[in-house]
């Protein structure tokens, strides 16, 4: 800091003379020091990749865990404390998350960064039509904490029937009554059980609540963490104005018996063809060095709903016909990569008469406020934590549509354009939305499909096995479009409420080439949805959990891959059916249950 002060005074010596200059200089350096200390002294666990590589290919560990994301960080940490005598290797393809990931309001700016896998979907001509190359971007976290480093931090369990469906599909012990204790454990750990939580302040909460109340719905505020019909303010995983990256939270209690390899990609699982046993993994470090590492007990895949099936396919576990086309020996013929489900959403933009603008100077002041005090709008995610739920058929309390929300001030040049480009919209779409924003502020309401009937798949590309093919098959089932159009009809009812009319809230027309020939009919909305809809980054189901005899599952209820003794999967890819909510909470719960499954198999007298 002394060098910094010297540079400032030498650059502009006159204004920094006297008491005023000295005080101002101290203030500037204090702000810079605040930015430098944003991690509050936290240090990520060391990278032992080179040390492991230097030990040679005969090295062995009791457990090898692939992926240090939301599930993998929990699983590795708790396993290390229950079994301190076990040697545990945690392998992560990415590195430590950057400082930007700590700031909650930067969630839209973390996409397409060095800690994002930046996956792209296969263009099918039926969806993602308003995106560059007609392909949607599927951002997934790459680094310690995985997607918890770049997601919206929203914590919602889902609906109880979600997990009843898991159980009735043949997974005894995975019902909601069985998982409640695991949800509660995470909520206590992340300090989101406080019933007196004051919440975040946002004028739009009350506006939208009142509009929904006019239509006969209840405002649930911060009441419980389940997805229920009506409006809801969801809790987000933040502490002291910063993101609660799951790895950071769990690594606070990481045992000394855990070795972490960063910037290291697992290229395949080593399998014994005769015994159908996982022997270990083949890894490649960013330096180019590769080696085999042996697992004495188990290999656990926690690489996520894209990378986990990709790794299984590369290892010879998957649909026989597909593997034969790739000249990969099929060791186990299982439906790996099938059953892909995702929450699809799209924006509806509304003008208002509030006409708010946020000058750049004020943004700078708010950023300084955050750096010094960890408070203000940069300490939260604005309107994005506000949710609402409906059942479009009005036949149960089980929602099939969730609404996400955003708000952009007039002529927003700080968030809007980076967000639109980061999501992947084409230049035409970005320019059309920017043109609307130059004239007025915009409220965004995003219908989100909670119970998709369409199913996609993950495949390998013959030309480049390292890049998975993501076939979303959005709208493969016609009911999905029907449900989304019903959601639009509901939003149009909101538009007519007195609460919305009082603020001049009216739907804006985003000019989309190819849709302009239609008026606001179902044909127009179908065209609009096919152009504007994209992922909420919730892919699940690609290594489905279920009984081996049903023919559609990859792992049993113990999370062991069918036909193998010691290859286990602990991530969102095992979900038989997507939860009716943002998926982080359910992923944490399943990882916590996986810990108990291990304790049941290996036995333990230790308590966490």
Kind plus residue range of the DSSP H or E element containing 49: helix 49-54
d(CA 507, CA 170): 45
Compute the distance between CA of residue 296 and CA of residue 311 in angstroms, rounded to an integer.
20
Relative to beta strand 88-91, strand 60-66 is: parallel
Taking CA 380 as the corner, what is the angle to CA 379 and CA 382, rounded to the nearest 5 degrees? 135
Can you list the alpha helix ranges (DSSP code H) found in 293-447?
A: 304-314, 320-325, 360-373, 416-423, 427-439
Query: Residue 503 in 3-state DSSP?
Result: coil
* Cβ neighbours of 11 (radius 10 Å): 8
Count CB atoms within 10 A of the CB of residue 196.
5
DSSP state of 581: S
Q: How far apart are the first and last CA of the chain?
A: 43
Strand residue runs (E) in 129-212:
137-138, 154-155
Torsion of CA 420, 425, 430, 432, to 10 degrees: -130
Rounded to 5°, angle at Cα 452 from 73 and 386: 65
Nearest to 543 by CA among 514, 528, 563: 563
By the 8 A CB rule, do 596 and 178 touch? no
Cross-strand bridge partners of residue 402? 389, 448
Q: Report residue 76: phi and psi, to 5°.
A: -65, -45
- Bridge partners of 243, per DSSP, are 238
The sign one gets for the Cα dihedral 55, 60, 66, 71 is negative
Answer whether 535's CB lies under 8 Å from 423's CB.
Answer: no
Whether residue 559 contacts residue 543, with contact meaning beta carbons closer than 8 Å, is answered with no
Measuring CA to CA, which residue among 83, 94, 107, 195 is closest to residue 584? 107
Residue 436 burial by Cβ neighbours in a 10 Å radius (0-12, 13-18, 19+): middle
Closest alpha carbon to 449 in 416, 420, 477: 477
**Exposure letters 529-550 (e unless 16+ CB within 10 A, then b):** bbbbbbbbbbbbbbbbbbeeee
- Tell me the torsion sign for CA atoms 282, 116, 159, 489: negative
Pairing of strands 242-243, 258-261: unpaired
Rg, the chain, Cα only: 25
Beta strands 60-66; 290-301: pairing state? parallel
The answer to whether 482 is a known ligand-binding residue is: no
The CA–CA distances, whole Å, from 221 to 157, 161, 575 equal: 15, 21, 28
How far is 215 from 374, CA to CA, in rounded Å?
Answer: 38
What is the torsional sign of CA 54, 56, 58, 64? Answer: positive
Annotated binding site: 266
Annotated binding site for FAD: 266
């Amino acid at each position: 800091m002394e060098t910094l002060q010297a540079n400032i005074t030498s650059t502009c010596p006159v204004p920094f003379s006297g008491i005023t200059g000295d005080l101002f200089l101290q203030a500037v350096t204090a702000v810079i020091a605040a930015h430098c200390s944003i991690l509050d002294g936290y240090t990520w666990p060391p990278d032992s990749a080179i040390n492991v590589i230097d030990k040679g290919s005969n090295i062995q560990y009791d457990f090898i865990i692939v992926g240090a994301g939301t599930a993998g960080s929990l699983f590795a940490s708790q396993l290390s404390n229950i079994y301190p005598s076990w040697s545990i290797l945690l392998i992560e393809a990415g590195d430590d998350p950057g400082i930007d990931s700590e700031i909650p309001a930067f969630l839209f700016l973390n996409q397409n960064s060095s800690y994002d896998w930046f996956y792209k979907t296969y263009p099918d001509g039926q969806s993602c039509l308003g995106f560059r190359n007609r392909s949607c971007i599927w951002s997934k976290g790459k680094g310690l904490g995985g997607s918890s480093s770049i997601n919206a931090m929203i914590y919602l369990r889902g609906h109880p029937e979600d997990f009843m469906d898991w159980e009735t599909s043949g997974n005894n012990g995975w019902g909601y009554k069985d998982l409640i204790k695991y949800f509660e454990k995470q909520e206590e750990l992340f300090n989101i059980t406080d019933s007196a939580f004051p919440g975040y302040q946002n004028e739009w909460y009350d506006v939208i609540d009142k509009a929904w109340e006019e239509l006969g719905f209840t405002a649930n505020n911060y009441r419980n963490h389940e997805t229920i019909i009506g409006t809801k303010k969801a809790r987000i995983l933040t502490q002291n104005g910063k993101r609660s990256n799951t790895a950071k939270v769990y690594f606070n209690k990481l045992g000394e018996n855990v070795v972490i390899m960063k910037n290291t990609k697992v290229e395949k699982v080593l399998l014994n063809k005769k015994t159908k046993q996982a022997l270990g993994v083949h890894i490649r470090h960013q330096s180019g060095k590769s080696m085999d590492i042996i697992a004495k007990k188990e290999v656990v895949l926690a690489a996520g709903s894209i990378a986990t099936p990709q790794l299984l396919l590369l290892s010879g576990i998957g649909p026989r016909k597909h593997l034969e086309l790739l000249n990969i020996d099929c060791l186990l013929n299982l439906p790996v990569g099938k059953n892909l489900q995702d929450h699809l959403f799209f924006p509806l933009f509304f003008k208002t008469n509030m006409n708010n603008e946020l000058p750049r100077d004020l943004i700078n002041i708010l950023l300084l406020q955050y750096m010094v005090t960890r408070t203000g709008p940069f300490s939260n995610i604005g309107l994005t934590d506000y949710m609402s739920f409906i059942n479009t058929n009005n036949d149960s309390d089980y929602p099939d549509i969730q609404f996400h929300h955003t708000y952009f001030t007039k002529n927003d040049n700080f968030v809007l354009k980076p967000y639109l480009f980061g999501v992947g919209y084409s230049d035409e779409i970005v320019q059309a939305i920017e043109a609307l924003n130059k004239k007025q502020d915009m409220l965004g309401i995003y219908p989100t499909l909670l119970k998709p009937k369409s199913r996609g798949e993950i495949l390998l590309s013959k030309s480049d096995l390292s890049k998975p093919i993501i076939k979303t098959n959005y709208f493969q089932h016609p009911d999905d479009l029907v449900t989304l159009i019903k959601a639009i009809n509901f939003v149009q009812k909101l538009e007519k409420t007195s609460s919305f009319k009082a603020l001049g809230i009216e739907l804006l027309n985003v000019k989309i080439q190819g849709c302009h020939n239609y008026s606001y009919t179902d044909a127009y909305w179908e065209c609009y949805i096919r152009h504007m809809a994209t992922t909420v980054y919730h892919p699940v189901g690609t290594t489905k959990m279920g009984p081996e005899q049903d023919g559609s599952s990859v792992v049993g209820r113990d999370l062991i891959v069918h036909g193998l003794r010691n290859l286990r999967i602990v991530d969102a890819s095992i979900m038989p059916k997507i939860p009716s909510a943002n998926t982080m909470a359910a992923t944490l719960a399943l990882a916590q249950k996986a810990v108990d499954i291990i304790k049941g198999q290996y036995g333990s007298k230790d308590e966490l």
